[in-house]
Amino acid sequence: MAAERGTAAEALVGQVVLPGDLLLLPAHYDEDAEGERLRLSAGAAPQGRLLCGPGLRRSGAGLLVTTCGLLRHRPGGGGAYWVDSQQKRYVPVKGDHVIGIVTAKAGDVFRLDVGGSEPASLSYLAFEGATKRNRPNVQVGDLIYGQFVVANKDMEPEMVCIDSSGKSSGMGIIGQDGFLFKVSLGLIRKLLAPKCEIIQELSQLYPFELVIGMNGRIWVKAKTVQQTLIIVNILEACEYMTAEQRKQALAKLSGN
């Protein structure tokens, strides 16, 4: 009976969905849910697995909406559905790169505020080249850009600043200068999209350094304090401006 009250997911892409809405999937996605995800044959490639993104969860043969927002879809492979919302509360997810603030030292572990319901832990050995004798110089109040390796509801979130090969890959302590501010998670996903027009347009205005965390935090540093604040104001306003309004604002700044 629940399936009869649902709506085809493809018909709602780009429209507003509400918590409790049931999105029905095509028949082949139903087969994937039953465990037939990897069907290899000589004549055809595997179809792939459907990814269920933020704001959705599996419910039988469909997807149940848990967050209010716009339904998005990414084709290719098994495809992906997610809800694009203006959510500001971050929930740690394994693999996410985030910006944390060191709040305490507890033995060999640092405690970091990552904007979630509880602090994350970071071992002093989770830095490139760190050993028992060569410890990283991390102080309370420092900003850390790292990645979650443990993130679930039953365990404390755990971060590292190295990848699988032991390299930092850009992670670690962020410089003391610069400006840290917070935006919605929807704007973060927009800025991290491949070939983001906002970042490309800003890079033509001023040279600057930018660190974007999936937890809604952004760190910016330009040549001067004035340029840094201009970039911060533009990034914050991008959430409410159209592409044309943004281009007009950047044109005025570049003319000055």
Element (H, E) at 254: helix 243-255
Please report the pLDDT score of residue 174 as a whole number.
Answer: 93
Q: Are residues 184 and 169 located together in one domain of the fold?
A: no
Long-range own/partner contacts, residues 190-196 (CB < 8 A, 24 or more apart): 190/238, 191/218, 191/235
Q: Are residues 164 and 187 located together in one domain of the fold?
A: no
Asked whether residue 39 is domain-assigned, the answer is no
Domain that holds residue 11: 1-25+50-85
Q: Are residues 158 and 185 located together in one domain of the fold?
A: no
Asked whether residue 206 is domain-assigned, the answer is yes
Q: Are residues 110 and 153 located together in one domain of the fold?
A: yes
Long-range own/partner contacts, residues 1-8 (CB < 8 A, 24 or more apart): 2/59, 2/60, 3/60, 3/61, 3/62, 6/62
Asked whether residue 158 is domain-assigned, the answer is yes
Chain-wide mean pLDDT for the chain? 82
Show which of 117, 142, 173 is a domain's final residue: 173
Q: Are residues 78 and 116 located together in one domain of the fold?
A: no
- The number of folded domains in the chain is 3
Please report the pLDDT score of residue 43 as a whole number.
Answer: 39
Asked whether residue 244 is domain-assigned, the answer is yes
Show which of 173, 206, 239 is a domain's final residue: 173
Specify whether the CB–CB gap between 121 and 109 falls below 8 A. Answer: yes
> In sequence order, what are the residues at sequence separation of 6 or more whose Cβ sits closer than 8 angstroms to the Cβ of residue 33?
58, 60, 61
Specify whether the CB–CB gap between 179 and 219 falls below 8 A. Answer: yes
Structure tokens at 52: 């269920």
Q: What is the mean pLDDT of residues 30-48?
A: 41
Q: Residue 168 pLDDT more than 70?
A: yes
Q: Distance between CA 172 and CA 102 in Å, rounded?
A: 12
Nearest to 215 by CA among 178, 175, 187, 234: 187
pTM: 0.72
Show which of 137, 157, 173 is a domain's final residue: 173
Lowest mean pLDDT segment, chosen from 66-70, 229-233, 251-255 = 251-255
Asked whether residue 192 is domain-assigned, the answer is yes
Lowest mean pLDDT segment, chosen from 50-54, 147-151, 211-215, 236-240 = 50-54
Q: Are residues 134 and 155 located together in one domain of the fold?
A: yes
- What one-character-per-residue DSSP string does 112-139 give? EE-SSSS-EEEETTSSTT--SSS-----
Asked whether residue 66 is domain-assigned, the answer is yes
Q: Are residues 200 and 139 located together in one domain of the fold?
A: no
Phi, psi of 165 (to 5 degrees): -95, 5
Q: Distance between CA 244 and CA 232 in Å, rounded?
A: 19
Q: What is the mean pLDDT of residues 85-103?
A: 85
Q: What is the mean pLDDT of residues 8-36?
A: 72
Q: Distance between CA 239 and CA 184 in Å, rounded?
A: 8
Question: CATH number for the domain including 184?
Answer: 3.30.1370.10
Q: Are residues 231 and 196 located together in one domain of the fold?
A: yes
Q: Are residues 56 and 103 located together in one domain of the fold?
A: no
Please report the pLDDT score of residue 78 as a whole number.
Answer: 65
Q: Residue 208 pLDDT more than 70?
A: yes
Question: CATH number for the domain including 122?
Answer: 2.40.50.140
Q: Are residues 8 and 81 located together in one domain of the fold?
A: yes
> What single letter denotes the amino acid at residue 141?
G
> What single letter denotes the amino acid at residue 32?
D
Q: Residue 107 pLDDT more than 50?
A: yes
**How sure is the predictor about 228, in pLDDT bands with cuts at 50, 70 and 90?**
very high
Q: Are residues 7 and 80 located together in one domain of the fold?
A: yes
Structure tokens at 200: 């490309």
Please report the pLDDT score of residue 28 as a whole number.
Answer: 54
Q: Are residues 4 and 74 located together in one domain of the fold?
A: yes
Question: CATH number for the domain including 14?
Answer: 2.40.50.100
